[in-house]
Chain A
């Protein structure tokens, strides 16, 4: 038994450790100041896919990402860790996509990839935390979904058993292929880069990357066709224009404000015994505690 697996991954600005220079004076986000990283939960998803690949001989794992041309880094990173290859979905037609337009485009690209058994992605991306794209891709493809997956327990014929980690408990559910699975951060961490694969794929590039590079990749690609990362634009996927990008996005951003908290006048204390005792006395006296 072997499976065709697609991992949906996203390159995101690292919003977890936002420094002071991350916001511009006008309150907009200075994306340039934030390092671009592999969305953490998508790495958990990749790991689940790679485990299936080693468990079921002949299975293939391909990564699909939508983004600007530098998002090809995500595909290379996946290949270093064990993915067979990937596709970059890129183009100005996709600009301004909300989760629904993104899902429409991803679903169309997945259809172009042929017969797919399992689509795995992270539960959510840290730049938006919406957790919408996985379920929406499933709906667009007309297949079921299992969200909040922590572990793919087994696949027997076309039945897949998955352990879900929910806010207040766990669930063991069984579904049938094809299916979309979104993976929680509580799932196993992704394996590191494999040295051999890193060497093998370090020159993998998209056409755009090759064109804008000073290195000539022509001979390399000819000798090793797997070093070509296919790049698809809107023209490469079956679509109706009205469902792409801004026009395909029902949500509109009305306004954006940077967050400012009103500072209080704080009393400053030291850990000195008398100061802590006075504080506790005060809190008891004004019935905050006790």
Chain B
């Protein structure tokens, strides 16, 4: 009872990275709270889920396995979680801030009247004094998230309602195996007790999921373009540089909104958080919400025609000039000097 739960997102039998990242975080929180870490898998043919997640320190794995539960639809997955949470009364429930988690989380929180904080960038345990109610809580979940376009960071707590729910974007937390030999307990749920037939009102007629072509998180070198690139065509030279250096191309929110790059390349609070060895920011002014997603890069080079662009403040090298001039030179001199 009162354990920490993580909802596992599953595509083609594989547990999503974001869920493994949350298990890693959940394990740390569970150690701190001296409670169990429990995971819930809802879908079909879930036999191999245990071997994927136990090594992250999962104590109990709940399996809701039924043909009708895959692919994901809102209502049956909601019913599994709501009914399971009513029985198990978790103190904390975490899910990915993905298309699924952001569809499921609010529905579950509304049904349970429990607070949900979206897109947290950090989760900690701490005390909270509710002066109005004259109550002191010693170990609440601090749900830390940016707000107002990233200009502020708010710490949110849910003092009275359980579970304390939070979603976290992929790549924000680190994924780390706890113990490759750890074996937890598996509990198979009797679907009929959790889901009703009327939950299956939404029918998925067609589904085209692409394996992500872009793996920003895993790339040691990222060449990112901003609105200052001017056009999707101009992004071409970023791909040239990325190819030569063996990196991946990223983009700021403004560049994605302008249609210069695909959404999956977006870096920042509303995109992916990255920590590469080298980050080359091209024509990016450096809005806070972008910087928050790349500031932990080991080395940052900013190329901008504006000598006072905010991003320059966090860059190791600032090249004041146009990308059209600088990038071809980088390619040229890299080729000349590398063996």
Contact = CB atoms under 8 A, between A and B. Distances in A.
A183 B322 CA distance: 38
Interface in A149-177: 161, 164, 166-176
A269 B333 CA distance: 15
Contact of B151 (A15, A126, A269, A279): A15
A168 B264 contact: yes
A254 B128 contact: yes
Contact of B110 (A13, A135, A262): A135
Interface stretch (B28-36, B48-56, B205-213): B205-213
A171 B325 CA distance: 42
Contact of B264 (A167, A170, A268): A167
Contacts of B117: 251
Contacts of A28: 152
A138 B149 contact: no
Nearest to B254: A16
B70 interface: no
A167 B262 CA distance: 10
Contacts of A221: none
A289 B279 CA distance: 11
Given A176-B201, A280-B334, A250 B114 contact: yes
A132 B105 contact: yes
Contacts of A95: none
Contacts of A176: 201
A205 B1 CA distance: 54
A144 interface: yes
A289 to B, nearest CB: 5
Contacts of B42: none
A276 B110 contact: no
Contacts of A145: 74, 103, 107
Interface stretch (A49-57, A97-105, A223-231): A97-105
Nearest to B111: A139
Contact of A264 (B99, B153, B316, B322): B316
A266 to B, nearest CB: 5
Given A169-B209, A288-B278, A259 B155 contact: no
A284 interface: yes
| Interface bracket on B | 35 or more
A174 B205 contact: yes
B118 A284 contact: no
Interface stretch (B158-166, B171-179, B189-197, B231-239): B158-166
| Interface bracket on A | 35 or more
Contacts of A283: 278, 299
B251 interface: no
B113 A250 contact: yes
Given A135-B103, A251-B158, A284 B338 contact: yes
A174 B299 contact: no
A131 B103 CA distance: 8
A268 to B, nearest CB: 5
B109 interface: yes
Contacts of B150: 259
B87 interface: no
A100 B204 contact: no
B142 A254 contact: yes
A259 B152 contact: yes
Contacts of B201: 144, 175-176
Interface string B63-93: 0000000010111001000000000000000
A262 to B, nearest CB: 8
B78 to A, nearest CB: 8
Contacts of A261: 288, 291, 295, 313-314
A29 B148 contact: yes
Interface in A106-135: 126-135
Given A167-B263, A263-B314, A267-B318, A280 B333 contact: yes
Nearest to B328: A276
Could you say which of B73, B107, B288, B313 has the most chain A C-beta atoms within 10 Å of its C-beta? Answer: B107
A166 to B, nearest CB: 4
Interface in B210-235: 210-212, 221
A251 B106 contact: no
A36 B245 CA distance: 44
Nearest to B336: A277
B102 A161 contact: no
Nearest to A132: B106
Contacts of A138: 107
Contacts of A11: none
A23 B156 CA distance: 20
Given A18-B148, A273-B329, 9 more contacts: A132-B118, A148-B99, A168-B210, A169-B207, A250-B115, A252-B159, A258-B153, A259-B150, A268-B318
The 9 closest A-B pairs by CB, nearest first: A15-B149, A271-B321, A250-B115, A251-B115, A139-B110, A169-B209, A132-B106, A135-B106, A172-B206
Interface of A: 13, 15-16, 18, 22-23, 27-29, 98-100, 103, 126-136, 138-140, 144-148, 161, 164, 166-176, 249-259, 261-264, 266-271, 273, 275-277, 279-281, 283-284, 288-290
